[in-house]
Amino acid sequence: MREPRLEYAFEIRVDVDPYLRIGRGVDEELTFTPVTGGTVDGPLLTGIVLGGGGDWAVERAGTAQLEARYLLRAEDGAVIDVLNRGYYRASAEVEDRIAAGEAVAEDEYYFRTAPVFQTDAPAHRWLAEHQFVGLARDEDGQVRIRVFVVR
């Protein structure tokens, strides 16, 4: 049986506003982080992140379950819908370093996603026909997600 192969596709750099606490209960917390813009750049896709989407997170026992929804506009003008689900978990020390603006490596905490793309643009249809994995990190006030296509 063959192992899956990951091919680097692009990096999404998402600009966000501070999160809003919605609340939910004693054992979990629901928050929303507004997406305000950003960029997409890489060998397989270039464009921008459109403002207006957001990321809902439910944190339970130190792990946040994420569900982000936003739009990309490819360099050729095509609009691409993104539904990006994943998990975030970091130690208190790493959280403090991120809050202080310090660069923290991807392997120092768990921030992984599985983006799903939708579009009917012929040049980008491949996005809606493949599985992807994202390695995310907080850097310079952005959420940066290196996206790999599973081959």
Number of domains, the chain? 1
Domain membership of residue 61 (yes or no) is: yes
CA separation for the pair 8, 30 (Å, rounded): 32
User: Does any domain span residue 1?
Assistant: no
Domain containing 60 equals 6-150
Q: What is the mean pLDDT of residues 42-51?
A: 98
CATH number assigned to the domain comprising residue 12: 2.40.160.20
Which 3-state string (H, E, C) describes 11-50? EEEEEECCCEECCCCCCEEEEEEEEEEEEEECCCCCEEEE
Residue 32 lies in a domain: yes
List the beta strands (DSSP E) in the chain. 6-16, 20-21, 28-41, 47-60, 63-74, 79-89, 110-118, 132-139, 142-150
CA–CA distance, 134 with 136 (Å, rounded to integer): 6
Mean pLDDT for 97-116 is: 92
- Do the Cβ atoms of 89 and 65 come closer than 8 Å? no
Q: Amino acid identity of 10? A: F
Is 38 part of a structural domain of the chain?
A: yes
| Structure confidence at residue 27 (pLDDT) | 87
Mean pLDDT of the chain: 95
121: tokens are 């643009």
pTM metric for this prediction: 0.94
* pLDDT computed for residue 140 by the predictor: 85
